[in-house]
Amino acid sequence: MNERDSLILGAFLHDIGKFYQRTRQNPLKYKDVEEDVYGYGGAHGKWGASFVEEYIPPVFRDDNLINCILKHHKPTKVLETYVHRADCLSAGMDRTKAEERGDPYTTPLYCLLENISLKDRGKRSKYSHKLQKLSLEKDKIFPVETHKNTIDSSSYNNLWNKFTEDIEKIIKKDNFSDYFFTLYYIMEKYTWCIPGAVYVSIPDIPLFHHLKTTAAIATCLYDTRGKEEFILLEGDISGIQDFIYQINSPQDSMKDTAKRLRGRSFYLSLMNETFGDYCLNALNLTVVNKLWSGGGHFAILAPSTEENRRNIEEIEDKINSFLFKNYQGDLGFILGIVEFSSDKLKDFSSLLKEMGKVLDRKKKEKFFRQITEEDLIFPLKKHVCPVCGKDYEENSDICFLCEDHKELGEKLPKYKYIYKINSTEPVNSIIKFEDFYTYWDFKPEGKLVTGYSINNTEFLEKPEDFNRAGFIFSGNHVPGTEYGTIKTFDEMADSSEGANFLGVLRMDVDNLGMLFTLGLGEDRPEDVSQSRKSISRIASMSFSLDLFFSGYLNKICEDFENLYITYSGGDDLFIAGAWNEILDVAKRINDEFYCYTGKNPELHASGGIYLCKGKYPIKRAAEHAADALENAKKETDKNSLNIFTCNVSWYKMNEVYSFAEKLLTYLEDNKITRTFIYNTLHLYKKDRTLFTLMDNKITRTFIYNTLHLDEKDRTLSIPLMSKFLYSLKRNIKDEAVQQELKNMFSSLWAFAPVWAGISMLKTRK
């Protein structure tokens, strides 16, 4: 094995000894090595070196690898120094000041998301993660109350035994690239829940993300010969939303729309992975250098060298030429570049802020070279696709891309694996990115095959089918019929309770950019051993959000019969389904996300819901839902749902929904009538327009103050209040119901469109 590979593997495994040591097992080798060899605080290096001897294939085992692990606290050679320095830079710390003062055998990994704050609420450690291998099950990935989270050597032993079982499954691999790639996913599966270090500050960085970023930094140090100069790359595919919902007309595109949308969304995920991997290969980097990937963008840490600068220009140019040629400007690609030195790694948030400015500027220059240098004439082709409206040459009913997207969307829920085939020769596959020699299919074909288990971390069940393996999380839940087919939008709408409407939900996390750049807080005197804004902590934050939206969202939707995840990933989602289930799942997602973040009141998502018929053009429905989401975010604290053109704070939503259900019960028991609710809603609309008609010459507050009304009565305009009370008396005979409705209307009047809309739609026949 060459020197560079030894360094990368050594950096990636430099702290694996902490995992081994916490089992309280004695290392089989190196147990007699003294501190003058491994250095102060570096005893875990003995366990790490022993792990190499016990579990790493002999073909990859050499002195460089062992010494990078054993001596990374007290380096004596250049490679060991690179690992030592990368270790410090990953955590944004000064090794001379770092000292583990907690109990590494019993201290859990605290919930990172619990401490994200723009208001400096102070450090919280109420929630932490259990020692469990990574999966999408709630009891595995959701944090629990720390005082109930018992961790001891038996917990570590159980996890270690499962870990080494998977490690032994790849012991016979002899290609380093394939071995390292597969090892990466095994490490993620088992070390995502282990605290990397137990310092004075809260231990909320997973061991995996510390190991990953240490290896990425060490690679850069090696390639720059220790100059500590880096490049942060961020790739971003633009035009995604318009591309997904690109439908020519409702009549021609109705058939297989749901499958095609799901396929397009996943197609873009595969495109993003293809572009990210192409960048890694062009820069001679490994998977550890890809800091995060999802939602149509990826980030890579690369060494700052003259060769890489040239390669980066060629990468962006090649990707844009491919997109320009094949999508005629519908999809674009920008590659942001920020060069920096090692001191900036202590405040990685500032680099993200700088990157945001770079990307904003480059979005205005999209396709600049293609427009100025390439032929802008696209020859007219034989046919026009009735689905997407693009012209094409093939003698078929629709263009090949729309056909591929339909097939992809149809097969995605049925297969456990998807395979990436790298080949310089054409491959018969569903998805082809021939310019990048990359093909994707649900069946392995070819010599260089990467197998990804979909939404399942048990990815080593069929190691004979691929050279390397991993797993991906993707929102791919679809509603099935009793005949084994996927429900159409029409069928989902017809399955709604009451009125046959399709609901469209869009949600995303509020203030995400600010949370990444400012939410980790400022370093304090007690944080001398570890920076709050380190690269490893930010990588972990990105992972945590994507795990919920790309992965766990499937588990939520499985509890419903008529929901279709069209898109999810990063920090946002798009779901279509029966309108009543869309409302229920929106509430459920909000409640689950609150628990997932350690009940952090500052980390929340807003949503927008639009209702339409099953045959309504999905592109327009998506646009309306986006408008609703934008309106929800106009609330002071955001954290709201917009439905029936009305914003409801999530804090108020349960009360509003419960009132709607109570109205529904009264309707079913004939205690109130639909006419009464309709008339009440009519009064609400008049109430909202009354003062507008007065040309804003007086205000509602002026009238209330003039009449000395109590605060609790400030819900309905005075001219309309008598009409409401009259309607209440005339239409409802039960005095107890009268009083209850009067009280509820008083506190929930502002949300009348929501509770009235829900109760009316659920009782429509």
For residue 440, being part of any structural domain is answered with no
- 730 compared with 375, residue with greater pLDDT: 730
CATH of the domain at 507: 3.30.70.270
Domain final residue pick, 643, 667, 700 = 643
- Do both 150 and 299 map to the same domain? no
Is pLDDT at 693 greater than 50 in this prediction?
Answer: no
Q: Which residues pair with 505 in a beta bridge?
A: 575, 609
pLDDT for position 214: 97
User: What distance in Å separates the CA atoms of residue 416 and residue 414, rounded to the nearest whole number?
Assistant: 7
* Sequence-distant (≥ 6) Cβ neighbours of residue 538 within 8 angstroms: 348, 349, 352, 516, 520
Domain final residue pick, 378, 400, 415 = 415
Domains in the chain: how many in total?
A: 4
pLDDT for position 530: 56
Contact between 276 and 293 under an 8 Å Cβ cutoff? The reply is yes
User: Following DSSP, what letter does each residue of 385-444 receive, concatenated?
Assistant: -TTT--EE-SSSSS-HHHHHHHHHHHHGGG-SEEEEEE-SS----SEEEGGGTEEEESS-
The tens digit of pLDDT for each residue in 440-452 reads 999 877 677 899 9
For residue 715, being part of any structural domain is answered with yes
CA neighbours closer than 13 Å in the CB half-sphere of residue 91: 30
Reported for 167-176, long-range contacts at CB under 8 A and 24+ positions apart, including other chains, are 167/55, 168/55, 169/460, 169/463, 170/460, 170/463, 171/55, 171/57, 172/57, 173/57, 174/57, 174/59, 175/467, 176/1, 176/5, 176/9, 176/60
pLDDT band at 178 (very low <50, low <70, confident <90, very high): very high
- Do both 190 and 96 map to the same domain? yes
- Do both 235 and 217 map to the same domain? no
User: What distance in Å separates the CA atoms of residue 191 and residue 468, rounded to the nearest whole number?
Assistant: 20
Quote the percentage of the chain above a pLDDT of 70: 88
Is pLDDT at 678 greater than 90 in this prediction?
Answer: no
Is pLDDT at 377 greater than 80 in this prediction?
Answer: no
- Do both 395 and 541 map to the same domain? no
For residue 140, being part of any structural domain is answered with yes
The tens digit of pLDDT for each residue in 282-299 reads 999 999 999 999 888 999
For residue 75, being part of any structural domain is answered with yes
Q: Rounded to whole angstroms, what are the CA distances from 355 to 214, 231, 238, 531, 669? A: 21, 11, 16, 20, 60
CA neighbours closer than 13 Å in the CB half-sphere of residue 270: 28
- Do both 21 and 104 map to the same domain? yes
pLDDT for position 369: 66
Is pLDDT at 701 greater than 60 in this prediction?
Answer: no
CA neighbours closer than 13 Å in the CB half-sphere of residue 426: 1
pLDDT for position 388: 83
Is pLDDT at 709 greater than 50 in this prediction?
Answer: no
- Do both 363 and 237 map to the same domain? yes
Residue with tokens 């220009």: 313
CATH of the domain at 364: 3.30.70
- 745 compared with 243, residue with greater pLDDT: 243
Is pLDDT at 527 greater than 90 in this prediction?
Answer: no
User: What is the rounded average pLDDT of the residues 69-76?
Assistant: 96
For residue 535, being part of any structural domain is answered with yes
**Residue (of 498, 506, 497) closest to 609 by Cα position:** 506
Cα three-residue angle 167-172-175, rounded to 5 degrees: 100
pLDDT for position 714: 43
For residue 702, the tally of other CB atoms under 10 A from its CB is 11
- Do both 550 and 407 map to the same domain? no
* SS3 category, 322: helix
Residue with tokens 């439905």: 643
For residue 476, being part of any structural domain is answered with no
The tens digit of pLDDT for each residue in 79-97 reads 999 999 999 999 876 444 4
> Which strands, in side-by-side order, build the sheet including 332-341?
290-294, 297-303, 229-238, 332-341
Is pLDDT at 4 greater than 70 in this prediction?
Answer: yes
The tens digit of pLDDT for each residue in 193-233 reads 999 988 656 789 999 999 999 999 999 999 999 999 999 99
pLDDT band at 373 (very low <50, low <70, confident <90, very high): low
Mean pLDDT of the chain: 87
Is pLDDT at 102 greater than 80 in this prediction?
Answer: no
- 99 compared with 167, residue with greater pLDDT: 167
Q: What phi, psi does 323 have (nearest 5°)?
A: -70, -40
pLDDT for position 749: 83
The tens digit of pLDDT for each residue in 327-336 reads 888 899 999 9
- Do both 550 and 697 map to the same domain? no
Domain final residue pick, 221, 244, 277 = 221
For residue 577, being part of any structural domain is answered with yes
- Do both 745 and 708 map to the same domain? yes
Is pLDDT at 122 greater than 50 in this prediction?
Answer: yes
pLDDT for position 11: 98
The tens digit of pLDDT for each residue in 22-63 reads 999 999 999 899 999 999 989 999 999 999 999 999 999 999
For residue 420, being part of any structural domain is answered with no
pLDDT band at 380 (very low <50, low <70, confident <90, very high): confident
User: What is the rounded average pLDDT of the residues 525-551?
Assistant: 82
- Do both 188 and 236 map to the same domain? no
- Do both 143 and 270 map to the same domain? no
The tens digit of pLDDT for each residue in 552-609 reads 999 999 999 999 998 888 889 999 999 999 999 999 999 999 999 999 999 999 999 9
Domain of residue 92, residue span:
3-114+123-221
- Do both 670 and 622 map to the same domain? no
pLDDT for position 240: 87
The tens digit of pLDDT for each residue in 725-757 reads 777 878 888 888 888 888 777 788 889 999 999
